[in-house]
A = this chain, B = another copy of it.
Amino acid sequence: MSVEAKAAPFAGPAAAEKAYRLEEHIGFVLRKANQRHLALFSARISDLTPPQFAALARLEEVGEASQNQLGGLIAMDAATIKGVIDRLKARGLVEIDTHKEDRRRLVVRLSAEGRDTLARLRLLAFAITEETLAPLTGRERASLMRLLAKIG
């Protein structure tokens, strides 16, 4: 079948030839967990993506911010946040002005409709987190969140 050995105990080709199992690597399991979360999210909130929601939620927290500043607050680089804000603006969920003192900056803030949208989706967002963590006990959930925060 495969060229690779079956990794019988103590009988590998060499010490360095530890079996490579995708499932034991953090990148692979992170990608799958993300995938499941995204599926649950879009099933409940079909008209907004997680990054878009994050941008709105952060704007509600901080009031207003420059575009890049906002990106920093939700871990998005300049190129990525631009697209997100463009789409939110096109849908009237955020408003944009140029900064009065620094003409390079764009000041972004929630529109009334953006605020309404957030209010409407708030409980759904909690439900999505709940649903994503459903396979875990309460203790496990806290543990997972703590460990992820540590490596993030």
User: Hey, which bits of chain A sit against chain B, CB under 8 A?
Assistant: 1-4, 16, 18, 20, 22-38, 41, 50-51, 54, 57-58, 60-63, 74-75, 115, 122-123, 125-126, 128-129, 132-133, 135-136, 140, 143-145, 147-152
What chain B residues lie within 8 Å of A26 (beta carbons)?
A: 37, 129, 132-133, 144-145, 148
A contact face: mostly helix, strand, loop, or mixed: helix
Report A69 CB to chain B, min CB distance, Å: 14
**B41 A2 Cβ-Cβ under 8 A:** no
Complex-state Cα separation, A15 to B62, whole angstroms: 22
**A50 B75 Cβ-Cβ under 8 A:** no
Known: A129-B27, A143-B143. A57 touches B20 (CB 8 A): yes
Report A113 CB to chain B, min CB distance, Å: 14
**B25 A125 Cβ-Cβ under 8 A:** yes
**B29 A149 Cβ-Cβ under 8 A:** yes
Report A37 CB to chain B, min CB distance, Å: 5
**A61 B148 Cβ-Cβ under 8 A:** no
